[in-house]
A and B are shown apart, each in its own frame.
Chain A
Protein backbone atom coordinates (compact mmCIF):
# COMPACT_ATOMS: atom_id res chain seq x y z
CA UNK A 1 0.00 0.00 0.00
CA UNK A 2 2.93 2.25 0.68
CA UNK A 3 3.91 1.98 -2.95
CA UNK A 4 0.42 3.00 -3.99
CA UNK A 5 0.54 6.07 -1.77
CA UNK A 6 3.90 7.04 -3.19
CA UNK A 7 2.50 6.73 -6.73
CA UNK A 8 -0.45 8.95 -5.87
CA UNK A 9 1.84 11.59 -4.37
CA UNK A 10 4.12 11.35 -7.38
CA UNK A 11 1.28 12.00 -9.81
CA UNK A 12 -0.39 14.75 -7.82
CA UNK A 13 2.66 16.72 -6.75
CA UNK A 14 6.11 15.54 -7.69
CA UNK A 15 5.49 14.83 -11.36
CA UNK A 16 2.22 16.65 -11.86
CA UNK A 17 1.59 16.18 -15.58
CA UNK A 18 0.47 19.75 -16.21
CA UNK A 19 2.25 21.92 -13.69
CA UNK A 20 5.56 20.07 -13.65
CA UNK A 21 5.93 17.93 -16.75
CA UNK A 22 3.85 20.09 -19.10
CA UNK A 23 2.30 17.22 -21.00
CA UNK A 24 -1.01 17.02 -22.80
CA UNK A 25 -1.31 20.69 -23.59
CA UNK A 26 -3.94 20.41 -26.33
CA UNK A 27 -6.80 19.43 -24.01
CA UNK A 28 -5.46 21.65 -21.26
CA UNK A 29 -5.91 24.70 -23.44
CA UNK A 30 -9.03 23.63 -25.25
CA UNK A 31 -11.43 22.49 -22.56
CA UNK A 32 -10.57 24.71 -19.61
CA UNK A 33 -13.13 27.39 -20.46
CA UNK A 34 -14.83 26.58 -17.16
CA UNK A 35 -13.95 24.72 -13.98
CA UNK A 36 -16.63 22.12 -14.64
CA UNK A 37 -15.30 21.31 -18.10
CA UNK A 38 -11.77 21.07 -16.75
CA UNK A 39 -12.85 18.71 -14.00
CA UNK A 40 -14.88 16.59 -16.42
CA UNK A 41 -12.02 16.28 -18.86
CA UNK A 42 -9.57 15.52 -16.06
CA UNK A 43 -11.71 12.76 -14.58
CA UNK A 44 -12.42 11.25 -17.99
CA UNK A 45 -8.72 11.17 -18.73
CA UNK A 46 -8.08 9.69 -15.29
CA UNK A 47 -10.45 6.79 -15.91
CA UNK A 48 -8.86 6.03 -19.27
CA UNK A 49 -5.35 6.46 -17.92
CA UNK A 50 -5.74 4.18 -14.90
CA UNK A 51 -7.56 1.46 -16.83
CA UNK A 52 -5.11 1.50 -19.72
CA UNK A 53 -2.20 1.49 -17.26
CA UNK A 54 -3.69 -1.50 -15.46
CA UNK A 55 -4.29 -3.49 -18.63
CA UNK A 56 -0.99 -2.65 -20.26
CA UNK A 57 0.74 -3.68 -17.09
CA UNK A 58 -1.16 -6.97 -17.04
CA UNK A 59 -0.25 -7.56 -20.67
CA UNK A 60 3.32 -6.39 -20.38
CA UNK A 61 4.81 -9.85 -20.78
CA UNK A 62 2.56 -10.66 -23.71
CA UNK A 63 3.09 -7.56 -25.84
CA UNK A 64 6.18 -7.90 -28.04
CA UNK A 65 8.60 -5.03 -27.72
CA UNK A 66 8.48 -4.03 -31.36
CA UNK A 67 4.73 -3.64 -31.75
CA UNK A 68 4.12 -2.16 -28.33
CA UNK A 69 3.06 1.27 -29.62
CA UNK A 70 0.22 -0.07 -31.79
CA UNK A 71 -0.73 -2.39 -28.93
CA UNK A 72 -0.84 0.51 -26.47
CA UNK A 73 -2.87 2.56 -28.90
CA UNK A 74 -5.43 -0.21 -29.32
CA UNK A 75 -5.82 -0.64 -25.57
CA UNK A 76 -6.11 3.12 -25.00
CA UNK A 77 -8.48 3.67 -27.91
CA UNK A 78 -10.75 0.87 -26.67
CA UNK A 79 -11.06 2.45 -23.25
CA UNK A 80 -11.62 5.87 -24.78
CA UNK A 81 -14.46 4.42 -26.84
CA UNK A 82 -16.00 2.78 -23.78
CA UNK A 83 -15.77 6.00 -21.77
CA UNK A 84 -17.15 8.02 -24.66
CA UNK A 85 -20.19 5.76 -24.96
CA UNK A 86 -20.77 5.93 -21.19
CA UNK A 87 -20.58 9.73 -21.26
CA UNK A 88 -22.97 9.86 -24.19
CA UNK A 89 -25.43 7.77 -22.24
CA UNK A 90 -25.19 9.23 -18.75
CA UNK A 91 -23.64 12.72 -19.02
CA UNK A 92 -24.74 14.01 -22.43
CA UNK A 93 -24.24 17.66 -21.45
CA UNK A 94 -20.60 17.13 -20.53
CA UNK A 95 -20.08 14.99 -23.61
CA UNK A 96 -21.41 17.79 -25.76
CA UNK A 97 -19.26 20.50 -24.22
CA UNK A 98 -16.08 18.40 -24.48
CA UNK A 99 -16.99 17.28 -27.99
CA UNK A 100 -14.12 16.17 -30.17
CA UNK A 101 -11.65 16.32 -27.30
CA UNK A 102 -13.01 13.08 -25.83
CA UNK A 103 -11.88 10.89 -28.73
CA UNK A 104 -8.69 12.92 -28.82
CA UNK A 105 -7.76 11.56 -25.39
CA UNK A 106 -6.24 8.74 -27.44
CA UNK A 107 -3.41 10.98 -28.57
CA UNK A 108 -2.88 12.62 -25.19
CA UNK A 109 0.84 12.47 -24.47
CA UNK A 110 0.28 11.66 -20.81
CA UNK A 111 -1.45 8.34 -21.45
CA UNK A 112 0.95 6.92 -23.99
CA UNK A 113 3.83 8.37 -22.00
CA UNK A 114 2.79 6.60 -18.78
CA UNK A 115 2.11 3.36 -20.63
CA UNK A 116 5.58 3.48 -22.10
CA UNK A 117 7.53 4.75 -19.13
CA UNK A 118 5.74 3.10 -16.22
CA UNK A 119 3.03 0.54 -16.91
CA UNK A 120 5.02 -1.45 -19.46
CA UNK A 121 7.69 -2.23 -16.91
CA UNK A 122 5.88 -2.37 -13.56
CA UNK A 123 3.35 -4.66 -11.84
CA UNK A 124 -0.40 -3.99 -12.18
CA UNK A 125 -1.25 -2.49 -8.77
CA UNK A 126 1.42 0.24 -8.75
CA UNK A 127 0.58 0.92 -12.40
CA UNK A 128 -3.08 1.36 -11.55
CA UNK A 129 -2.22 3.78 -8.77
CA UNK A 130 0.25 5.55 -11.00
CA UNK A 131 -2.60 6.11 -13.44
CA UNK A 132 -4.92 7.32 -10.68
CA UNK A 133 -2.26 9.63 -9.29
CA UNK A 134 -1.37 11.10 -12.66
CA UNK A 135 -5.07 11.40 -13.50
CA UNK A 136 -5.80 13.18 -10.22
CA UNK A 137 -2.88 15.52 -10.84
CA UNK A 138 -4.20 16.25 -14.32
CA UNK A 139 -7.77 16.79 -13.04
CA UNK A 140 -6.51 19.09 -10.28
CA UNK A 141 -4.50 21.16 -12.76
CA UNK A 142 -7.31 21.40 -15.29
CA UNK A 143 -9.81 22.37 -12.60
CA UNK A 144 -7.46 25.10 -11.33
CA UNK A 145 -6.91 26.52 -14.80
CA UNK A 146 -10.61 26.21 -15.62
CA UNK A 147 -11.59 27.94 -12.37
CA UNK A 148 -9.15 30.77 -13.04
CA UNK A 149 -10.43 31.30 -16.56
CA UNK A 150 -14.08 31.03 -15.54
CA UNK A 151 -13.59 33.48 -12.69
CA UNK A 152 -11.95 36.11 -14.87
CA UNK A 153 -13.89 35.40 -18.02
CA UNK A 154 -17.39 35.11 -16.62
CA UNK A 155 -17.11 36.06 -12.94
CA UNK A 156 -18.37 32.64 -11.94
CA UNK A 157 -17.07 29.48 -10.34
CA UNK A 158 -18.68 26.14 -11.17
CA UNK A 159 -21.54 28.18 -12.61
CA UNK A 160 -22.23 30.18 -9.43
CA UNK A 161 -21.73 33.93 -9.57
CA UNK A 162 -18.88 34.80 -7.25
CA UNK A 163 -17.52 38.19 -8.17
CA UNK A 164 -18.90 41.44 -6.70
CA UNK A 165 -21.58 43.36 -8.54
CA UNK A 166 -19.26 45.89 -10.18
CA UNK A 167 -16.97 43.28 -11.73
CA UNK A 168 -16.89 43.44 -15.49
CA UNK A 169 -15.95 39.99 -16.85
CA UNK A 170 -12.85 39.91 -19.04
CA UNK A 171 -14.48 37.90 -21.75
CA UNK A 172 -11.30 37.10 -23.58
CA UNK A 173 -10.24 34.66 -20.84
CA UNK A 174 -13.15 32.46 -21.72
CA UNK A 175 -12.16 32.42 -25.38
CA UNK A 176 -9.29 30.93 -27.33
CA UNK A 177 -6.72 33.75 -26.88
CA UNK A 178 -7.22 33.67 -23.11
CA UNK A 179 -6.09 30.06 -23.03
CA UNK A 180 -2.77 31.01 -24.61
CA UNK A 181 -2.30 33.87 -22.16
CA UNK A 182 -3.04 31.72 -19.12
CA UNK A 183 -0.67 29.02 -20.31
CA UNK A 184 2.01 31.62 -21.04
CA UNK A 185 1.78 32.85 -17.44
CA UNK A 186 1.89 29.29 -16.16
CA UNK A 187 5.05 28.49 -18.10
CA UNK A 188 6.61 31.79 -17.05
CA UNK A 189 6.06 30.85 -13.40
CA UNK A 190 7.57 27.46 -14.11
CA UNK A 191 10.57 29.08 -15.73
CA UNK A 192 11.02 31.34 -12.73
CA UNK A 193 10.89 28.38 -10.35
CA UNK A 194 13.27 26.48 -12.56
CA UNK A 195 15.75 29.35 -12.70
CA UNK A 196 15.58 29.77 -8.93
CA UNK A 197 16.18 26.08 -8.31
CA UNK A 198 19.04 26.10 -10.78
CA UNK A 199 20.64 28.97 -8.92
CA UNK A 200 20.15 27.30 -5.55
CA UNK A 201 21.68 24.09 -6.87
CA UNK A 202 18.52 22.04 -6.39
CA UNK A 203 17.36 19.47 -8.93
CA UNK A 204 15.33 21.15 -11.65
CA UNK A 205 15.51 18.85 -14.68
CA UNK A 206 12.05 17.47 -14.21
CA UNK A 207 10.31 20.80 -14.32
CA UNK A 208 8.87 21.45 -17.72
CA UNK A 209 10.54 18.52 -19.38
CA UNK A 210 7.63 18.25 -21.76
CA UNK A 211 6.31 20.94 -24.01
CA UNK A 212 7.76 24.00 -22.34
CA UNK A 213 11.37 23.22 -23.09
CA UNK A 214 11.22 21.97 -26.59
CA UNK A 215 8.03 20.71 -27.96
CA UNK A 216 9.66 18.00 -29.94
CA UNK A 217 10.21 16.14 -26.71
CA UNK A 218 6.52 16.10 -26.25
CA UNK A 219 6.14 14.59 -29.66
CA UNK A 220 8.47 11.87 -28.57
CA UNK A 221 6.62 11.33 -25.36
CA UNK A 222 3.56 10.29 -27.24
CA UNK A 223 1.70 12.73 -29.43
CA UNK A 224 3.65 11.94 -32.52
CA UNK A 225 5.53 8.78 -32.06
CA UNK A 226 6.51 6.41 -34.79
CA UNK A 227 3.77 3.86 -35.13
CA UNK A 228 5.85 0.79 -35.72
CA UNK A 229 8.91 1.23 -33.61
CA UNK A 230 11.24 -1.49 -34.77
CA UNK A 231 13.11 -2.29 -31.57
CA UNK A 232 16.32 -0.84 -32.95
CA UNK A 233 15.37 1.56 -35.70
CA UNK A 234 17.06 4.94 -35.89
CA UNK A 235 14.60 6.61 -33.56
CA UNK A 236 13.92 5.60 -29.99
CA UNK A 237 11.34 6.97 -27.61
CA UNK A 238 12.59 9.46 -25.07
CA UNK A 239 11.70 8.51 -21.57
CA UNK A 240 10.64 10.80 -18.87
CA UNK A 241 13.66 11.31 -16.71
CA UNK A 242 13.66 9.64 -13.36
CA UNK A 243 10.59 7.52 -13.51
CA UNK A 244 12.08 4.96 -15.84
CA UNK A 245 15.55 4.20 -14.73
CA UNK A 246 14.80 1.88 -11.85
CA UNK A 247 11.72 0.41 -13.43
CA UNK A 248 13.09 -0.56 -16.77
CA UNK A 249 16.45 -2.05 -16.09
CA UNK A 250 15.56 -5.22 -14.17
CA UNK A 251 13.07 -6.56 -16.66
CA UNK A 252 15.26 -7.67 -19.52
CA UNK A 253 17.62 -9.37 -17.12
CA UNK A 254 14.81 -11.21 -15.51
CA UNK A 255 13.43 -12.30 -18.84
CA UNK A 256 16.79 -13.56 -19.83
CA UNK A 257 17.03 -15.62 -16.72
CA UNK A 258 13.59 -17.03 -17.33
CA UNK A 259 14.27 -18.16 -20.82
CA UNK A 260 17.60 -19.56 -19.73
CA UNK A 261 19.63 -17.91 -22.45
CA UNK A 262 22.98 -16.55 -21.51
CA UNK A 263 24.11 -13.26 -22.82
CA UNK A 264 26.28 -13.59 -25.85
CA UNK A 265 28.93 -11.30 -27.18
CA UNK A 266 27.70 -8.74 -29.68
CA UNK A 267 27.32 -10.25 -33.08
CA UNK A 268 26.92 -8.94 -36.59
CA UNK A 269 23.25 -9.75 -36.31
CA UNK A 270 22.86 -7.03 -33.78
CA UNK A 271 24.39 -4.44 -36.04
CA UNK A 272 21.97 -5.30 -38.74
CA UNK A 273 19.09 -4.73 -36.42
CA UNK A 274 20.51 -1.36 -35.49
CA UNK A 275 20.48 -0.10 -39.02
CA UNK A 276 16.86 -0.98 -39.25
CA UNK A 277 17.15 -3.91 -41.63
CA UNK A 278 15.46 -6.97 -40.30
CA UNK A 279 14.36 -10.28 -41.51
CA UNK A 280 17.52 -11.46 -43.15
CA UNK A 281 19.22 -12.95 -40.15
CA UNK A 282 17.89 -16.23 -38.80
CA UNK A 283 15.14 -15.08 -36.49
CA UNK A 284 15.23 -17.64 -33.68
CA UNK A 285 18.84 -16.76 -32.96
CA UNK A 286 18.25 -13.08 -33.08
CA UNK A 287 15.14 -12.92 -31.00
CA UNK A 288 16.22 -13.37 -27.40
CA UNK A 289 19.10 -10.97 -27.73
CA UNK A 290 17.15 -8.32 -29.52
CA UNK A 291 14.69 -7.81 -26.72
CA UNK A 292 17.55 -7.24 -24.34
CA UNK A 293 19.62 -5.12 -26.64
CA UNK A 294 16.69 -3.10 -27.86
CA UNK A 295 15.90 -1.88 -24.39
CA UNK A 296 19.46 -1.23 -23.36
CA UNK A 297 20.16 0.63 -26.56
CA UNK A 298 17.09 2.70 -26.11
CA UNK A 299 18.23 3.83 -22.72
CA UNK A 300 21.74 4.42 -23.94
CA UNK A 301 20.64 6.45 -26.92
CA UNK A 302 18.61 8.86 -24.85
CA UNK A 303 21.16 11.57 -25.45
CA UNK A 304 21.81 11.05 -29.13
CA UNK A 305 18.09 11.43 -29.61
CA UNK A 306 18.30 15.16 -29.80
CA UNK A 307 20.13 15.14 -33.09
CA UNK A 308 16.98 13.87 -34.61
CA UNK A 309 14.66 16.07 -32.68
CA UNK A 310 16.32 19.42 -33.03
CA UNK A 311 15.46 20.43 -36.52
CA UNK A 312 16.49 24.00 -36.03
CA UNK A 313 19.89 23.47 -34.49
CA UNK A 314 20.81 21.22 -37.34
CA UNK A 315 20.86 24.14 -39.72
CA UNK A 316 23.09 26.47 -37.78
Chain B
Protein backbone atom coordinates (compact mmCIF):
# COMPACT_ATOMS: atom_id res chain seq x y z
CA UNK B 1 0.00 0.00 0.00
CA UNK B 2 2.86 2.27 0.85
CA UNK B 3 4.29 1.84 -2.59
CA UNK B 4 1.07 2.84 -4.30
CA UNK B 5 0.84 5.91 -2.11
CA UNK B 6 4.38 6.93 -3.01
CA UNK B 7 3.61 6.53 -6.72
CA UNK B 8 0.46 8.63 -6.35
CA UNK B 9 2.41 11.37 -4.62
CA UNK B 10 4.94 11.36 -7.47
CA UNK B 11 2.15 11.37 -10.03
CA UNK B 12 0.51 14.48 -8.60
CA UNK B 13 3.75 16.14 -7.61
CA UNK B 14 5.40 15.89 -10.99
CA UNK B 15 2.36 16.66 -13.10
CA UNK B 16 0.85 19.57 -11.19
CA UNK B 17 2.87 20.83 -8.23
CA UNK B 18 6.30 21.11 -9.84
CA UNK B 19 5.09 21.33 -13.40
CA UNK B 20 7.89 20.65 -15.85
CA UNK B 21 7.36 23.78 -17.96
CA UNK B 22 5.79 26.26 -15.62
CA UNK B 23 8.03 25.79 -12.64
CA UNK B 24 11.10 23.99 -13.98
CA UNK B 25 11.34 25.65 -17.41
CA UNK B 26 12.18 22.43 -19.19
CA UNK B 27 10.82 21.86 -22.66
CA UNK B 28 10.09 25.53 -23.26
CA UNK B 29 10.79 25.37 -26.98
CA UNK B 30 7.93 23.05 -27.95
CA UNK B 31 5.77 24.64 -25.26
CA UNK B 32 6.03 28.03 -26.93
CA UNK B 33 6.44 26.83 -30.49
CA UNK B 34 3.72 24.23 -30.99
CA UNK B 35 0.96 25.80 -28.94
CA UNK B 36 -0.81 27.83 -31.57
CA UNK B 37 -3.66 25.36 -31.93
CA UNK B 38 -5.22 22.91 -29.52
CA UNK B 39 -5.05 20.13 -32.07
CA UNK B 40 -1.31 20.35 -32.63
CA UNK B 41 -0.79 20.89 -28.91
CA UNK B 42 -2.58 17.62 -28.17
CA UNK B 43 -0.43 15.85 -30.77
CA UNK B 44 2.73 17.27 -29.27
CA UNK B 45 1.56 16.32 -25.79
CA UNK B 46 0.92 12.76 -26.94
CA UNK B 47 4.36 12.52 -28.50
CA UNK B 48 5.99 13.91 -25.37
CA UNK B 49 4.14 11.46 -23.10
CA UNK B 50 5.21 8.60 -25.34
CA UNK B 51 8.85 9.65 -25.62
CA UNK B 52 9.45 10.69 -22.01
CA UNK B 53 7.81 7.60 -20.56
CA UNK B 54 9.87 5.37 -22.84
CA UNK B 55 13.07 7.35 -22.33
CA UNK B 56 12.79 7.41 -18.56
CA UNK B 57 12.21 3.66 -18.58
CA UNK B 58 15.25 3.03 -20.77
CA UNK B 59 17.39 5.49 -18.81
CA UNK B 60 16.29 3.78 -15.61
CA UNK B 61 17.28 0.38 -16.93
CA UNK B 62 20.66 1.65 -18.09
CA UNK B 63 21.24 3.44 -14.83
CA UNK B 64 20.41 0.33 -12.81
CA UNK B 65 22.19 -2.32 -14.85
CA UNK B 66 25.09 -0.46 -16.43
CA UNK B 67 26.02 2.74 -14.65
CA UNK B 68 25.49 1.60 -11.07
CA UNK B 69 26.71 -1.92 -11.69
CA UNK B 70 30.01 -0.81 -13.16
CA UNK B 71 30.24 2.25 -10.88
CA UNK B 72 30.46 4.74 -13.72
CA UNK B 73 27.68 7.09 -12.63
CA UNK B 74 29.81 10.07 -13.58
CA UNK B 75 29.20 9.17 -17.22
CA UNK B 76 25.46 9.70 -16.78
CA UNK B 77 25.14 12.86 -18.86
CA UNK B 78 26.97 11.45 -21.87
CA UNK B 79 25.22 8.09 -21.75
CA UNK B 80 21.72 9.49 -21.23
CA UNK B 81 21.90 12.09 -23.98
CA UNK B 82 23.28 9.62 -26.52
CA UNK B 83 20.86 6.87 -25.61
CA UNK B 84 17.85 9.17 -25.58
CA UNK B 85 18.70 10.87 -28.85
CA UNK B 86 19.34 7.57 -30.59
CA UNK B 87 16.23 6.05 -29.03
CA UNK B 88 13.94 8.77 -30.30
CA UNK B 89 15.24 8.46 -33.81
CA UNK B 90 14.97 4.70 -33.64
CA UNK B 91 11.40 4.95 -32.37
CA UNK B 92 10.59 7.25 -35.25
CA UNK B 93 11.87 4.75 -37.82
CA UNK B 94 10.17 1.88 -36.01
CA UNK B 95 6.80 3.62 -35.91
CA UNK B 96 7.02 4.57 -39.56
CA UNK B 97 7.51 0.95 -40.56
CA UNK B 98 5.35 -0.89 -38.05
CA UNK B 99 2.60 1.43 -36.92
CA UNK B 100 1.87 3.93 -39.67
CA UNK B 101 -1.33 5.11 -37.98
CA UNK B 102 0.47 6.10 -34.79
CA UNK B 103 3.27 7.57 -36.87
CA UNK B 104 0.74 9.74 -38.69
CA UNK B 105 -0.45 11.10 -35.37
CA UNK B 106 2.87 11.59 -33.59
CA UNK B 107 5.53 11.35 -36.31
CA UNK B 108 5.97 15.01 -37.12
CA UNK B 109 6.52 15.86 -33.49
CA UNK B 110 9.07 13.19 -32.74
CA UNK B 111 12.15 14.87 -34.22
CA UNK B 112 11.26 18.02 -32.33
CA UNK B 113 11.83 16.25 -29.03
CA UNK B 114 14.94 14.29 -29.93
CA UNK B 115 17.21 16.03 -27.50
CA UNK B 116 14.67 18.12 -25.70
CA UNK B 117 15.79 19.36 -22.29
CA UNK B 118 12.68 17.89 -20.68
CA UNK B 119 13.58 14.35 -21.72
CA UNK B 120 17.14 14.57 -20.46
CA UNK B 121 15.96 16.53 -17.43
CA UNK B 122 13.59 13.77 -16.34
CA UNK B 123 16.28 11.12 -16.75
CA UNK B 124 18.73 13.11 -14.64
CA UNK B 125 16.09 14.00 -12.06
CA UNK B 126 15.20 10.33 -11.72
CA UNK B 127 18.82 9.44 -11.22
CA UNK B 128 19.46 12.19 -8.67
CA UNK B 129 16.32 11.29 -6.73
CA UNK B 130 17.48 7.65 -6.81
CA UNK B 131 14.19 6.40 -8.17
CA UNK B 132 13.93 2.78 -9.22
CA UNK B 133 12.86 1.77 -12.71
CA UNK B 134 9.13 1.69 -11.95
CA UNK B 135 9.13 4.87 -9.89
CA UNK B 136 11.25 6.61 -12.51
CA UNK B 137 8.94 5.60 -15.33
CA UNK B 138 5.92 6.80 -13.37
CA UNK B 139 7.71 10.06 -12.68
CA UNK B 140 8.49 10.42 -16.39
CA UNK B 141 4.89 9.75 -17.32
CA UNK B 142 3.62 12.24 -14.74
CA UNK B 143 6.05 14.90 -15.90
CA UNK B 144 4.92 14.43 -19.49
CA UNK B 145 1.27 14.61 -18.45
CA UNK B 146 2.08 17.89 -16.72
CA UNK B 147 3.63 19.15 -19.95
CA UNK B 148 0.55 18.10 -21.92
CA UNK B 149 -1.83 19.79 -19.48
CA UNK B 150 0.18 23.00 -19.67
CA UNK B 151 0.57 23.06 -23.46
CA UNK B 152 -3.12 22.28 -24.11
CA UNK B 153 -4.28 25.03 -21.74
CA UNK B 154 -1.85 27.48 -23.33
CA UNK B 155 -3.03 26.54 -26.82
CA UNK B 156 -6.64 27.07 -25.76
CA UNK B 157 -5.80 30.54 -24.47
CA UNK B 158 -3.74 31.38 -27.56
CA UNK B 159 -6.65 30.53 -29.84
CA UNK B 160 -8.63 33.22 -28.01
CA UNK B 161 -5.75 35.70 -27.92
CA UNK B 162 -5.60 35.57 -31.70
CA UNK B 163 -8.75 37.72 -31.82
CA UNK B 164 -7.50 40.29 -29.34
CA UNK B 165 -6.00 43.66 -30.02
CA UNK B 166 -2.52 43.28 -28.60
CA UNK B 167 -0.07 46.23 -28.55
CA UNK B 168 2.32 45.97 -31.45
CA UNK B 169 5.48 45.28 -29.50
CA UNK B 170 3.71 42.57 -27.51
CA UNK B 171 2.44 40.63 -30.49
CA UNK B 172 3.82 37.15 -30.90
CA UNK B 173 6.02 35.77 -28.18
CA UNK B 174 5.70 38.44 -25.45
CA UNK B 175 1.97 38.02 -24.97
CA UNK B 176 2.40 34.25 -24.94
CA UNK B 177 5.09 34.56 -22.29
CA UNK B 178 2.86 36.80 -20.20
CA UNK B 179 0.10 34.21 -20.51
CA UNK B 180 2.55 31.51 -19.46
CA UNK B 181 3.53 33.65 -16.48
CA UNK B 182 -0.09 33.98 -15.37
CA UNK B 183 -0.51 30.23 -15.82
CA UNK B 184 2.58 29.71 -13.68
CA UNK B 185 0.98 31.82 -10.94
CA UNK B 186 -2.12 29.63 -11.17
CA UNK B 187 -0.01 26.49 -10.93
CA UNK B 188 1.73 27.84 -7.82
CA UNK B 189 -1.69 27.32 -6.22
CA UNK B 190 -1.20 23.57 -6.51
CA UNK B 191 1.72 23.66 -4.09
CA UNK B 192 -0.69 23.20 -1.19
CA UNK B 193 -1.81 19.85 -2.60
CA UNK B 194 0.95 17.77 -1.09
Interface residues of A (CB under 8 A from B): 25-27, 29-30, 70, 73-74, 77-78, 80-81, 84-85, 100, 103-104, 106-107, 172, 175-181, 183-185, 187-189, 191-192, 195, 211-216, 218-219, 222-228, 235, 311-312, 315
Contact = CB atoms under 8 A, between A and B. Distances in A.
Given A104-B124, A177-B185, A191 B174 contact: yes
Contact of B25 (A179, A187, A222): A179
5 contacts: A26-B25, A176-B23, A177-B182, A181-B178, A212-B173
Interface stretch (B8-16, B34-42, B136-144): B34-42
Interface string B69-81: 0000011111001
Contacts of B173: 184, 187, 191, 211-213
Nearest to A27: B25
Contacts of B108: 311
Nearest to A84: B77
Give the interface size class of chain B.
Answer: 35 or more
B86 interface: yes
A222 to B, nearest CB: 8
Contact of A180 (B109, B170, B172, B177): B177
Interface of B: 22-30, 32-34, 36-37, 39-40, 74-78, 81-82, 85-86, 88-89, 108-109, 111-117, 120-121, 124-125, 128, 168-175, 177-178, 180-182, 184-185, 188
B146 to A, nearest CB: 13
Contact of B181 (A78, A177, A187, A214): A177
A227 to B, nearest CB: 4
A77 B174 contact: no
Given A70-B82, A176-B22, A192-B169, A227 B88 contact: yes
Given A179-B25, A185-B174, A312-B37, 14 more contacts: A30-B25, A74-B78, A103-B124, A106-B77, A177-B188, A180-B178, A184-B173, A184-B177, A189-B169, A191-B173, A223-B117, A224-B114, A228-B86, A311-B40
Given A29-B28, A176-B184, A191 B170 contact: yes
A215 B115 CA distance: 15
A27 B27 CA distance: 11
Nearest to A194: B169
Contact of A78 (B36, B78, B88, B169): B78
Contacts of B175: 184
B28 A106 contact: no
A70 B82 CA distance: 7
A66 to B, nearest CB: 13
Contacts of A77: 77-78, 81-82
A212 B115 contact: no
